[in-house]
Structure 1
């Protein structure tokens, strides 16, 4: 805790500064890309984002579950497995360091895909 002594000048105050540039959470832009990849009838069932950091980088870990609807939903869900690791995503101030399909399946509501991604702040 920082203590301020009224008799001291402002030069003695401790100033808290952010470490590095702090951008907004890129989850919304990532979701937009994933919906485009899945097609117009793609629905976001669940999306979470939490901070992530290593000794050299900071970013966010994202988990997204998508539900695909429509006549060719099964084929579009299968397409997520093909090439998602090498797909390009435009996320201003961030880049996708890792993305993969963790699970997929089909239930009474149709096919679903669960994706995890790691985005890193681009300093």
Structure 2
């Protein structure tokens, strides 16, 4: 067998180094904005966030369960859902590329909303 040194050692490889530091997870700020939109009293019952990427973008996929309480929960739920997909969500270092109401239920003076959102790093 023959061997050859082509000079492709570790120092000759192209590395993908992002410019600047990675942005923190925008989920805490997004939850604040969702609670403000829902009004008081409302609660985040569950929220998860996981990395997401496409060929051109990096971000996070969020799944959220929001509960709206009170005698006016039906009206507040309707107001919350109205124009949800075109609402402004000011997030530092990210933008909301997609947000949707996946499912909801009303039981007396409580409304539950299951939301999903995609945030993209804004570089």
Partner of residue 61, structure 1? 61
| Distance (Å, rounded) in 2 between the aligned partners of 1:108 and 1:70 | 9
Residue 81 of structure 1 deviates from its aligned partner by 2.2
Asked if structure 2 preserves the Cα contact closer than 8 Å seen for 1:80 and 1:101, the reply is no
Structure 1 residues without counterparts, runs of 5 or longer:
1-11
Partner of residue 32, structure 1? 32
Partner of residue 8, structure 1? none
Partner of residue 19, structure 1? 18
| Distance (Å, rounded) in 1 between the aligned partners of 2:116 and 2:79 | 16
Q: How large is the Cα RMSD of the aligned pairs? A: 2.3
| Distance (Å, rounded) in 2 between the aligned partners of 1:103 and 1:119 | 20
| Distance (Å, rounded) in 2 between the aligned partners of 1:80 and 1:104 | 12
Q: How many residues align?
A: 113
TM-score (ref. length: structure 2): 0.82
| Secondary structure, aligned partner of 1:80 | helix
| Distance (Å, rounded) in 2 between the aligned partners of 1:43 and 1:77 | 13
Q: Report the CA distance shift for 1:73/1:109 in structure 2 as closer, same or farther (over 3 A).
A: closer
| Secondary structure, aligned partner of 1:33 | helix
Residue 46 of structure 1 deviates from its aligned partner by 0.4
Asked if structure 2 preserves the Cα contact closer than 8 Å seen for 1:84 and 1:99, the reply is yes
